Amino acid sequence: MSEQSHDFAGRPDAFERLWTPHRMVYIGGENKPDDDSVASCPFCSIPGRTDEDGLIVARGETGYVVLNLYPYNPGHLLVCPYRHVSSYTDLSKDERDEFGELTAHSIRALQLASRPAGLNTGTNQGAVAGAGIAAHLHQHVIPRWMGDSNFFPIIAETKALPQVLGETWKLLSDAWERTC
Ligand SMILES: [Zn+2]
């Protein structure tokens, strides 16, 4: 990581090496579900993995938090209910309450781990609204930094994908334990 890149980012950040190659995989269409069924839904299968293998940062009673495999920015988290529902209005009150709590905890963990200048949160409901996996509701929590959309100088210094995501997972899992 060069000093110049640090300056460009505004401030050094713990995830700085990490992002664009995953998006290139996404653009290629890999791992997109074939249909809207539970059987082909990644958000239904992820909780069956170990935390490290599934990149799960936290598990609640009704939902969980996972690193996005195709982040817009490093540290991009997804809050998902365990239940395969497509709409926010399909959640029970308990599920919706925890969905909110997990979102707030995600924000605090990201703030502790990487001090983003800002954050985007939100759900894209339906393919027309931009949902990559429309059948299973998920809330994006995306850390933002000044100039992050122009972060191309970093590409050349990016490590191999599995190691990079594993390091981000460790940082955020640790930050999760230290926040509430
Ligand atoms: Zn699902």
pLDDT of residue 11: 45
Burial environment of residue 14 by CB neighbours within 10 A (0 to 12, 13 to 18, 19 or more): middle
Task: Give me the residues paired with residue 39 across strands.
Answer: none
Which of 22, 76, 138, 140 is catalytic? The answer is 138
Round to whole Å and give the CA distance between 19 and 129. Answer: 23
CA 146 to ligand 1 centroid distance, Å: 34
Q: Which CATH code fits 34-178?
A: 3.30.428.10
Active site residue 136: no
Lay out the sheet containing 77-81: strands in order across: 56-59, 63-67, 77-81, 139-144, 118-123
16-28 pLDDT, tens per residue? 544 444 444 444 4
Give the start-to-end residue ranges of the domains of the chain.
34-178
Q: What is the mean pLDDT of residues 146-170?
A: 60
CA 94 to ligand 1 centroid distance, Å: 18
CA 154 to ligand 1 centroid distance, Å: 34
CA 168 to ligand 1 centroid distance, Å: 24
Secondary-structure breakdown of the chain: helix, strand, coil percentages, each rounded to the nearest 5: 45, 15, 40
Indicate if the pLDDT at residue 152 is higher than 50. no
Question: What SS3 state is found at 127?
Answer: helix
* CB distance 74 to 168 below 8 Å: yes
88-145 pLDDT, tens per residue? 999 999 999 999 999 999 999 999 998 999 999 999 888 888 788 889 999 999 888 8
CA 176 to ligand 1 centroid distance, Å: 24
Indicate if the pLDDT at residue 67 is higher than 90. yes
The secondary structure of 8-23 as a DSSP string is: HHSS--TTTT--HHHH
Round to whole Å and give the CA distance between 162 and 171. Answer: 14
CB-CB neighbours of 114 under 10 Å: 22
